Amino acid sequence: MLSKERESAVVELCQKLIRQRSYSGEEQGVVQVLQENMEALGFDEVTVDRYGNIIGCIKGKRPGKKLLFDGHIDTVPATNAAEWQHPPFAAEIHDGKIYGRGTSDMKGAVAAMICATANFAQDTNKDFAGEIYVAGVVHEECFEGVAAREISKLVQPDYVVIGEASQLNLKIGQRGRAEIVIETFGIPCHSANPEKGVNAVYKMAKVIDAIRTLVPPHHSVLGDGILELTDIKSSPYPGASVVPEYCRATYDRRLLVGETKESVLVPIQQLLNQLMAQDPELKVTASYAVGVEKCHTGNEIEGERFFPGWLYEENSDFVQSVFNQLKEMGYHPSITQYNFCTNGSHYAGEAGIKTFGLGPSKENLAHTVDEHIEIDQLTKVTDCYYGIMQALLK
């Protein structure tokens, strides 16, 4: 367990991070705090890449594996601070909990990663095999794994630890996520004479009904590859006295292991082809949404919204090494999967890097009013990250 001095250090760093508001694209304040702390704690290298990710490295005296701790530093907005019992950016402590936006998701984990790495380097005098990296990742709330591509390109890690909330349990997989865009194209006309045009919304309504008949694929561990309608828009809008010529519907598709961009669209496109064959007036397409966001560095980050699922076996050597080490330290983690998407979509799903998740706090606190993290969880996860280094950097 941590000494009182080390407990205070991780709590104070977590509070400093919370006090820096860091909505996606506005993470520069957190980056500055992390850079100052990494340099003060003896990190050998600190880098900020073109997207604004910050990556700190401590190198062991002996050659070995590269271990990357991944934690995103952007948060969703605190839309109405008046609803919060405690201010969302004050990092106040009440009843053993730190309150604020990003405490659970996931600045607490980032603070723990940095402190654990510094503790391990100090205790070993850097006499360990390998290299430890801690990445503060931007724009994860916009699209999981896109900014992480830059990090894995730079680091080329052998192992990745995702610090998303897990209550100190090990997570060895997740469903991925895709945003699928369905578009229908009509013919505009005056709404007083609708027969002279083709209403794209009416066409979309038929398409939506048909899509609901598709049976989702199923995975014995990860569950269903659901396809759920999340929004619908028509054009022109507002459409005063105009039959809409265009309609766009967005679907959230949860991805299973092994699914590809091509395979996911096949059943949807087959259905659309059938509908168009039955209705000569129907013109409809399916594609993936593309996101473009401005980074705090001034650069743009862009990515197609397709983030693969991934899953490792419970008996994998690296999973068992960490599991057994944590048990020896007095922890009792279960081995399960995340029920949401993480940067693991890139590391494991795209790049095939050995990845698992372990973080403090409860998953259901993310994005909520009065988000908080228990100090007990924060200090314990710092200890657990230390144990992970012991397990994987031998």
* pLDDT at 71 > cutoff 90: yes
* pLDDT at 328 > cutoff 90: yes
* pLDDT at 24 > cutoff 90: yes
pLDDT band at 388 (very low <50, low <70, confident <90, very high): very high
Predicted local confidence at residue 134, as pLDDT: 98
Residues 6+ apart with CB under 8 A from 369: 78, 80, 83, 84
Question: What does the pLDDT average to over 277-293?
Answer: 97
User: 67 and 132 in contact (C-beta within 8 Å)?
Assistant: yes
Parts of the chain belonging to CATH 3.30.70.360? 176-293
Predicted local confidence at residue 1, as pLDDT: 79
Q: Which amino acid is at 265?
A: L
Nearest residue to 189 (alpha-carbon basis) of 242, 145, 239? 242
Parts of the chain belonging to CATH 3.40.630.10? 4-175+309-393
Q: pLDDT tens digits, residue range 121-150? A: 999 999 999 999 999 999 999 989 999 999
* pLDDT at 28 > cutoff 90: yes
CA angle 238, 242, 247 (to 5 degrees): 65
CATH T-level assignment (fold) for domain 176-293: Alpha-Beta Plaits (3.30.70)
Peptide bond into 238 cis (omega under 30): yes
CATH T-level assignment (fold) for domain 4-175+309-393: Aminopeptidase (3.40.630)
pLDDT band at 238 (very low <50, low <70, confident <90, very high): confident
Alpha-carbon gap, residue 274 to 284, rounded angstroms:
11
Question: What does the pLDDT average to over 106-123?
Answer: 98
Nearest residue to 173 (alpha-carbon basis) of 289, 280, 41, 308? 308
* pLDDT at 239 > cutoff 90: no
* pLDDT at 346 > cutoff 90: yes
Question: What does the pLDDT average to over 238-245?
Answer: 91
